[in-house]
Amino acid sequence: LLNNHKEIQTNLKFKKHFQANTSGTSGESLKFKREESADSFNRASIYRGYSWYNVNPWELNGYFWGYNFSERAMLKIRILDSLQNRFRIFNYRKESIDFFIKKLKNAKYLHGYSSMVYETAKIINSQNLEKPLNLKMVKGTSEKIFESYQDEIQKAFGQRMISEYGAAETGIMAFECPKGNMHLNMEGVIVEEIDHEIVVTNLQMHAFPIIRYQLGDYIKLAPKTATCECGMQHAIIEEVTGRIGQTVYGKNNTYPSLYFYYIFKNLASKQSFLLTYQVVQNEKGKLNFLIEQPLNSKQLLHLEHEIVVYFKEDMEFKIEHSQPITAQNKKLKSFISNIA
C-alpha cells in the first residue's frame, strides 16, 4: 500500500472527502483519502456496536490514548474532546488520576488502549478509589486484550472489557456482542481467512479501494454454522491471534512471533496462568520475557518449559517477572524486535 498508494488513490471526484492516516506496522505512515459517505458508514457501523450496549455516541465518555503532547496540542485536544463529550487521562500523576476518576462517576462508557484501561482499573482497585457505577460499556481497541486484564477490569468497572477490531485502511471489521462473540461487520467488509491470515475487502471505500488486502493479522473464523446466543446472524471471528511478519531469530533458525501466542495460550489452558507479557529481542539467539505478574519458582519452571518446547536449544532466554509493562504510557506491543 505504501509503495503504490498514488496508483490506488482514485481520480474519481467526491463531494467531500477526508484525509486518513495510519501509523503502519513499519512505522512509516500511510496517508489516503476517504470519501465522506464511507467515513460515515464506518462510524455508523461502530455506533451499531455501541447500540448493543445501549450506548449513545454522544454520551459522556472517558478515553485512553497515547499522550506525549505539548501544552498547545493538549489544549486543542481538550477542546475537541469536549465537543465529543469526552475526557481523557494525560498521565498517571496522582492529581490527573483523581480528576479522571471523579469524572468517571458520570461517564456512560470507557474506551481506548486496553493496557491503559487495565492500568487505571488496577489503580482504582489497589487504592480503593470510588468505582464508577454508570458505565454501560468498557471497550478496548488497537492493542491485544490480555485475558489477564479481565479480573481487575471486572472488579473496577463491574464488567469485562469488550473488543472492537478495526484498522484505518480497512474500516471496522468486527465488534464484540454482549454474549462475548466478535461479529463481523458483514455489510461493510468481506473477511476471508487464507492460511490463517486475514484478507479484507471493504465494500464502501471507493476513493482508496481496499480489495482482498492482506492486513497482516492471523485470525481464526468460526465455522459458518456457528450461532450466537445474542441472535445476530453475522459471522463470527473467533480469534485475532497476532501480527504476521515479525521474525524471531534463534542462533540457527528463525521463528514466527506467533510462537509467543502459543506459549502463553498453553500456560493459560494447562496451568490456568493468565499472564501479561512482552517479549524483547535485542540479539539473535536471545530473548527477554517481561511478565507483569509475580511468578513463583514453580510457575517460572512451567514458563521455561513452554519456551523450550518451541525454541528447543536454539534460544537463550531471560524471564523478568513483576514488570510494570502496562504502565509505559504508550501502545503495548507483545513483541519488540530491535534486530535490523
> Which residues lie near Zn ion (CB under 5 A)?
177, 179, 181, 228, 230, 232
Min dist. Cβ of residue 227 to Zn ion (A): 9
| Residue 4, Cβ density class (10 Å: 0-12 exposed, 13-18 middle, ≥19 buried) | exposed
Residue closer to Zn ion by CB (options 124, 184) is: 184
Min dist. Cβ of residue 177 to Zn ion (A): 3
Min dist. Cβ of residue 286 to Zn ion (A): 43
Residue closer to Zn ion by CB (options 187, 304) is: 187
| First-to-last C-alpha distance (Å) of the chain | 22
Cell readout for 161 is 472489557
Min dist. Cβ of residue 340 to Zn ion (A): 44
Min dist. Cβ of residue 54 to Zn ion (A): 15
Residue closer to Zn ion by CB (options 173, 228) is: 228
Residue closer to Zn ion by CB (options 104, 240) is: 240
Min dist. Cβ of residue 1 to Zn ion (A): 32
Say how far apart CA 30 and CA 268 lie, in whole Å.
37
Min dist. Cβ of residue 110 to Zn ion (A): 21
Residue closer to Zn ion by CB (options 236, 275) is: 236
Contact between residue 85 and residue 59 where contact means Cβ atoms under 8 Å apart: yes
All residues at 6 or more sequence positions from 318 whose CB lies less than 8 Å from its CB, including other chains: 286, 287, 288, 289
Contact between residue 149 and residue 156 where contact means Cβ atoms under 8 Å apart: no
Q: What is the DSSP string of 46-102?
A: HHHHHHTTT--TTS-EEEE------HHHHHHHHHHHHHTTEEE-----HHHHHHHHH
Comparing CA positions, the residue from 186, 169, 219 lying closest to residue 48 is 186
Say how far apart CA 13 and CA 22 lie, in whole Å.
23
DSSP 8-state code for residue 117: H
Residue closer to Zn ion by CB (options 181, 323) is: 181
Residue closer to Zn ion by CB (options 232, 274) is: 232
Residue closer to Zn ion by CB (options 205, 221) is: 221
Min dist. Cβ of residue 141 to Zn ion (A): 19
